[in-house]
Amino acid sequence: MSETVRALQPSELWNHFADLNAIPRASKKEQQVIAFMKHFGENLNLPTFVDEVGNVIIKKTATAGMENKQTIVLQSHLDMVHQKNNDTVFDFATQGIEMYVDGDWVKAKGTTLGADNGIGVATIMTILASNTIAHPAIEALFTIDEETGMTGALELKGGLLDAQIMLNLDTEEDNELTIGCAGGIDITGAGSYDLVSPNHPKAYKVTINGLTGGHSGIDIHKGRGNANKLMNRLLLDLITTQNIEIASIDGGSLRNAIPRESNACIVVSNEESLQQTIAHFQQILKEEYQTTDPNITVSMATCEVPKNVLAKNFAVQLLKVIYTIPNGIYRMSAEIDGLVQSSNNLSRILVADGSYSIQNLTRSSVDTEKTDVKNAISCALDLLGAAVTTGGSYPGWTPKPDAAIVSIMSNLYSELFNDTALVNACHAGLECGILGTNYPEMQMISFGPTIHGAHSPDEKVSISSVQKFWLYLQETMKRIPNKH
């Protein structure tokens, strides 16, 4: 399948992308791709450095005639979100991504594609390997663990980079120039509960799936269903009207992905009543989410009766607490039209064998409001008696619209494409804000080709947009200002 991708133009870029996608590169498991990138730089006889946490820096001198221009950082992250459809048989630890071409799109067969941020990485590789592309002095920065904590950016030390300008290649609409982003924090509530024997004779696995999912920052404003919230809604109705017993709940996967699936094992006394409720609930969801999640399904199947279930009082308390946890948009920005200022993604719920875990990813471009949302979630979890922990906190990126690189790239976009670039901030987490803490004087901007469905198996990247982005980047490098 990848051969059709390798034949696309610009071929060097797509071949680097195919090479990259042959390597497992889950967040926090980047050893193979770090070694791959280190070998790549050394094989080109370029100064190559791997720092203490695994970030890779490759430097290249300016091409002839560009020596007086300011040094630039070209930056992308090496890791990708590993997610697959429930019915896809695939081992991310051993298999390369199976890509194919569908019209103007490159897609993956039942898994995430890794265009986020593999296209950015491949683009930088193409420039480093080229003998013909004009560019100023380059410091290529490939960070690790962007998707699950941004530890690569957080741990990058000051003094390793000399550049005055950073071009981050991680924006996902090709008409956007991103100059600010949200910060984030992980919030987890965990605890234990007593197990009791079930009182009913039949057990069923209830499944909610077929949701659209997506990026918990970029897509959070689109009103897509959260499988964890919908399962909780169903279970609370069942436990209060039909006296069911809950053995387990397993929903969602990654903090930065809107949950697409959830499963629960329940014990019941009345199979017919359960069937009617499931059918009715599916119809309700079909109507409520007909636009955002047209393929949503709610189903049930017999399963083995479990040895233990949650005590009813605790189960009801658990479901009520989950019900109160905010999910989706918390507040819109009053300053930037259309920008989500704060949100929460109820990303992962696991209840089984006497223990539970409730995971969230909260985002905000205002640090004090990020704390407010964290407190709201923590208060809800406190009512359950959960041990609340936080981690992975990273700052937002404050926009600097007057920076010279913003004007340069905005004017260039109009010149090249006879259109106006959208200069904005985004609700996703970008590494620029973090990197800026150690390099406060560095001008930063983010842009990239059009990628849809990031963090889900629907991820795809536009071929024509990659070509547009490739031209734009090359011309941008020619417009970099001279050294002061």
382 has catalytic annotation: no
* Active-site annotation holder among 146, 170, 172, 250: 146
146 has catalytic annotation: yes
CA angle 335, 340, 343 (to 5 degrees): 135
Q: Which two tokens stand for residue 74?
A: 């070209």
Q: In this structure, are residues 420 and 214 in contact, taking their beta carbons and an 8 Å threshold?
A: no
Assign residue 175 a region (left: φ > 0; alpha: ψ between -120 and 50; beta: otherwise).
alpha
* Active-site annotation holder among 79, 172, 186, 431: 79
| Active site residues per annotation | 79, 146
